[in-house]
Amino acid sequence: MNIVVLIKQVPGNSDVKLDPKTGNLIREGIDAIINPDDLQALETAITLKETLGAKVTVLTMGPPQAIDALSEAIGMGADGAILLSDRAFAGADTWATSFTLGKAIQRIGKFDLILAGRQAIDGDTAQVGPQVAECLDLPQVTYVFDIETVENGYVRVKRRLEDGYERIQCSLPALLTIIGGPVKPRYPEVASLLSACHAKAPIQVWNAADIGVTTADVGMSGSFTQVVKTFAPKFERHGELLEGSAVEVVHNLIERLKQNKLI
């Protein structure tokens, strides 16, 4: 079985701030990590590799620094990794991103399962997975928290809904988006991390020409949507500290809850 895992490197701390003057994101001093849902997808893929046997290829799009996400994936047990990196890919919305990833997956060629995290903590769109599925004309199941079986050309999964879950059978090849399940993602092994740093490590870097796309179709120029402005959300909190004995503070709190018709 061939599994492709789509991952994204995101700021490790979502406590990002806007520069009050320029309105741009302040990215300095923020460690980059593998997006948590994607890490779960990776764990799922590697568990499948251990139980059923599979070749796991990890794919990401990002700046050269995103190589660390791939090294970590190798450290967790992935067999190979591809970094899609090109200035032309910068500024992509989910439309252009899914197109680029789709082209790269076509170049990878053989796959039975594509796993992606449900959503990334920086963009929170949850769109790239299903859009890649549509690009490649694959069936999709989103919000998957458990893969029951993969056999006879079908995968059986559990899909989370607001009030329960569905058990779904889906023909292969298919794309699944993964959410956190009972298994916590493993930490990488230091030996594999070190081998991922080696020149001979199975990591490739592809640019626009490598996947055969025109620059007009990727990145900012290939996007339909643009950010027209960003701003800090407004908070108008009372920010009042109630002090005194337990009886006093509770009395004061209840007063305030009543004033605001909360009770």
Partner 1 sequence: MAVWVEIDLCDGCRRCKRECPYDAIEIKDGKAQIGDRCTCCGACLEVCHHKAIHTDIQPKTIPDFSEYKGIWVFAEQRGGNLTRVSVELLGKAQELAKQLNEEVSAVLIGHHVADLADTLIQFGADLVYLADGEIFGNYRSEPYSYVLDELIKAYKPSILLMGATHIGRDLAPRVSRRTGSGLTADCTELSIDREEGILLQTRPAFGGNVMATIANRFSRPQMATVRPGVMEVVPTPGKEGVVITHESKVTEDQVRTKILEFVKEESPHVDLSKAKIIVAGGRGVNDLEGFGLLHELASALGAEIAGTRVAVEAGWISAANQVGQTGVTVRPELYVACGVSGAIQHRAGMMDSRFIVAINKDPYAPIFKVADWGIVGDLFDVIPELTKGLKTSCEVMCD
Partner 2 sequence: MIRSNPEELIRKNIARFVDNEIIPIAQELDNKGEFPRDIFKKLSKMGIFGIRYPRHRGGSGGNTTLFCIICEEISRGLLSVASIVAMQSLMGTNFLFHYGTGEMFEEFFLPAMRGEKIGCFCMTEPDAGSDLGAITTRATEVDDGYLINGMKTWVTDGPEASFYTVMCQTDPSKRLRGIGYFFIPRNLPGVSLSSRFQCLGTRTTPICEVAFKDVFIPKEYRLTPEGEGLNAFLKIIAEIRAMTAALALGLQRAAMADSIKYANERMASGKPIGKFQLVQSKIANMATNLEASKLMTYRATAMIDEGKEALKEATMAKYFATESACSASDECTRIFAGYGYSMEYTAQRYFRDARFLLNGGGTHEVLQCNIARWVGI
Q: Which of residues 79-138 bind partner 1 (CB under 8 A)?
A: 86-88, 93-95, 98, 121-131, 133-135
Judged by beta carbon distances under 5 to 8 A according to partner kind, the member of partner 2, partner 1, none in contact with residue 19 is none
What is the three-class DSSP state of 170? strand
Q: Minimum CB separation from partner 2 for residue 256, in Å?
A: 23
Is residue 149 close enough to count as binding partner 1 by CB under 8 A?
no
Nearer CB in complex with partner 1: 50/134: 134
> What is the C-alpha separation between 257 and 263, in angstroms, rounded?
6
Structure-token match 């460690």, residue found: 31
Q: Minimum CB separation from partner 1 for residue 20, in Å?
A: 12
Given a contact cutoff of 8 angstroms between Cβ atoms, the answer to whether 185 and 43 are in contact is: yes
Is residue 153 close enough to count as binding partner 1 by CB under 8 A?
no
Stated length of the chain: 263
Q: Minimum CB separation from partner 2 for residue 169, in Å?
A: 34
Q: Of 190, 191, 199, 232, which lies in the binding site for partner 1, with binding defined by CB under 8 A?
A: 232
Q: Minimum CB separation from partner 1 for residue 196, in Å?
A: 26
Cα separation values, 217 from 16, 91, 198, Å: 30, 12, 33
Half-sphere exposure of 101 (CA within 13 A, CB side): 31
Phi, psi of 103 (to 5 degrees): -65, -40
> What is the C-alpha separation between 115 and 205, in angstroms, rounded?
20
Is residue 171 close enough to count as binding partner 1 by CB under 8 A?
yes
Nearer CB in complex with partner 1: 78/120: 120
Binding site for partner 2 (CB under 8 A): 12, 31, 33, 64, 67-68, 71-72, 75, 83, 85, 186-191, 193-199, 201, 203, 205
Q: Minimum CB separation from partner 1 for residue 195, in Å?
A: 29
CA end-to-end span of the chain: 58
